[in-house]
């Protein structure tokens, strides 16, 4: 993956809104990167909002293995016990159709610190696909006080 650590401070070559790439300094201690100075922060706006970052990748034919990995952190102030906010990682066809949802996290995955997640990508070897990181933050109370932050960093695609 190119710019998997978001180190350029912009989404490029990811397609998506620039305001979801944040520096440690811009976050003011509210969130922080896993490594480096920048990270992707999806959700946490206190309003109903969905954001996605997508990057096209090629998984060369003949690879014996392919693994997507990333570091993530979830924190929430949601007072509800159900899953109302979601972060999904999808694999997309070149036309944007969803081929697979490979990981999903919700406000119920609230934990201290970063955790590593992986998703096998072997079934997409020999194809060019899009990797989509998508966060949806809703406020069921409609007060603007409750948010879930999905913080993502160090996205990698390893092929062998």
Give me the pLDDT at residue 3, please: 94
Mean pLDDT in order along the chain per 10 residues (160 residues): 92 94 92 95 82 95 94 90 91 97 95 95 96 88 79 96
- Residues whose CB falls within 8 Å of the CB of residue 26, separated by 6 or more in sequence, listed in order: none
| Closest alpha carbon to 6 in 28, 39, 34 | 39
In whole angstroms, give the CA distance from residue 114 to residue 79: 22
User: What are the structural domains of the chain?
Assistant: 18-159 (2.60.120.260)
Give me the pLDDT at residue 144, please: 67
φ/ψ region of 113 (left if φ > 0, alpha if ψ in -120 to 50, else beta) reads: left
């Amino acid at each position: 993956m190119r710019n998997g650590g978001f180190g350029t401070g912009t989404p490029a070559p990811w397609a998506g809104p620039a305001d979801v790439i944040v520096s440690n300094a811009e976050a003011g201690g509210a969130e922080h990167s896993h490594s480096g100075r920048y990270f992707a922060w999806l959700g946490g706006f206190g309003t109903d909002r969905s954001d996605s970052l997508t990057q096209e990748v090629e998984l060369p034919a003949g690879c014996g293995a392919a693994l997507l990995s990333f570091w993530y952190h979830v924190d929430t102030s949601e007072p509800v016990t159900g899953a109302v906010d979601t972060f999904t990682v999808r694999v997309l066809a070149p036309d944007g159709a969803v081929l697979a949802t490979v990981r999903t996290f919700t406000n119920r995955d609230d934990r201290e610190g970063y955790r590593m997640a992986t998703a096998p990508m072997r079934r997409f070897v020999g194809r060019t696909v899009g990797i989509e990181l998508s966060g949806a933050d809703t406020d069921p109370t409609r007060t603007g006080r409750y948010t879930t932050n999905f913080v993502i960093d160090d996205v990698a695609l390893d092929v062998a």
